[in-house]
Amino acid sequence: MLTEAIAQFASSNETKRWLEEKTNAALVPVQAQTKKLRDDMNLALQLVADVSKQLFDISNKEIERHNMKLYNRARALNKLSKLFLERLKKIIPPEQISYDTITRYVQEIHKVFYVTDIDIKNWFPRISPFFIMDRRKFLAVYEKARQTFNTLNDYVSKEYIKTKTLEEVILKLDELQGIEKQLLTLQDERDKIRDERVPIEQEISELEQKIANLKSSGPIDKLNLINIEIENLNNELRNDLRHLQKPFIKMQALATSGGGGGITPGELTKINQYLDTPFDAIVQESPGYSLLKEILEKLENMMTKDTLKLKPDKARKAEQSVNEFLYKNALDNLQLRCKEMATKRDHLLTSSDLDEINRNLAQYQEQLNQFKARKTSVETHETVKANSYQETVDKIIGLKRTIEKNIYTALDKKIQIT
């Protein structure tokens, strides 16, 4: 059994040309006849509107005459004719002919004629026998309009409907072509955003490289090494003073709670500094760290009197540390190393080369922050466009599959739009 070949089309334009060649013979005459019937219907409705206006004018004149014999019937005819005119004005004929537009047009007319038939049946007998010639003229024109409507309705429901699927396919192809144009526009916008993003990324990369180069340059590199060594010395000093931490904290509490213990405000500040940043504390001391020794002497006296209420083990270790630092000068060498490192750091920090590097670093960092902010904004815009682009692609794919299915239904022909 032979498999039917699937017609391949490279674009919606190619598909539409092929479909029009296939369907023009059937679709064009139907649309032309429908257009003619629409025009006939428009003319018939206009004639109904004209005779309705005549009824309105004639009834107005009779109302103005105040003829009591005709007055009430004239008012009824006046309201009725005005109602006819208002309904007819709401019927909007379609400019473009399609099955959907002409069907809506037919439905609107049907609704108007339906309620008009009821009004004629209810009110014309009440107005009778007056305005008989005018009413007959109206009914004659109205009946012709109904016949024109029936002709249009029959044609749409029996003939036009046969080409409905083909027409829908063409309309879908028009929609597809419109969306494909939108996709091209979105692609151009995406390209422009990408072209905007790429140089920003290049600027960011260059600035990051400049910052890295400055940070690895002589003064900065030396300062980093010194700061590492200072941190090591700070940790070493903190470790040497570890057994004094608890006693120092108790001395703080004693001084701040009003007990005093002979601790001066300056000594209290120094205790805090030795607890927080021992490197800075010992660097700021004169050689031999006399202020620390004064504190240690007071600590030794407090421990002798058991003022601090330390646990035996902690007291023993604290006494050993006090003895080492107070009488054996165990921190002399460490203080010397700390002071040397602080001198090197301060010398670098006050050098003109480092000032210039720091100014350049600050400038580059500010520029880098600005470019990163711009990049974030561009990327956000790019994401929005990318999402819109993908949604449009998905919509195009869906439309293509719908068109392929409808063509198969209408023409029993398998096609594929790539």
Q: In tens digits, what is the pLDDT along the chain, a chain of 418 residues? A: 445 678 888 888 888 888 888 777 778 888 899 999 999 999 999 999 999 999 999 999 988 888 888 889 999 999 999 999 999 999 999 999 888 999 999 999 999 999 999 999 999 999 988 899 999 999 999 999 999 999 999 999 998 888 888 888 888 899 999 999 999 999 999 999 999 999 999 999 999 998 888 877 777 778 888 899 999 999 999 999 999 999 999 998 888 876 556 888 899 999 999 999 999 999 999 999 999 999 999 999 999 988 888 999 999 999 999 999 999 999 999 999 999 999 988 888 887 777 788 888 889 899 999 999 999 999 999 999 999 999 999 999 999 999 888 888 877 788 898 8
Which amino acid is located at 204 in the chain? I
Q: Specify the fold of 11-158.
A: Four Helix Bundle (Hemerythrin (Met), subunit A) (1.20.120)
Whether the bond into 247 is cis, omega within 30 of 0: no
Output the six-digit token pair for 340.
């040397």
CB of 365 closer than 8 Å to CB of 204 = no
Query: Residues 238, 278: contact at Cβ < 8 Å?
Result: yes
Residue 1's pLDDT is: 42
pLDDT score of 243? 95
Reduced to 3 states (helix: H, G, I; strand: E, B; else coil), residue 415 is strand
Check residue 51 and give its pLDDT: 96
168 contacts: CB under 8 Å, gap ≥ 6: 99, 406
Report if pTM > 0.85. Answer: no
The angle that helices 99-127 and 164-215 make with each other, rounded to 10 degrees, is 130
Q: In this predicted structure, what is the pLDDT of residue 258?
A: 64
Domain(s) of CATH 1.20.120: residues in the chain: 11-158
Tokens of 37: 């019937």
Name the H helices within 262-351.
265-276, 278-283, 290-305, 312-327, 332-349
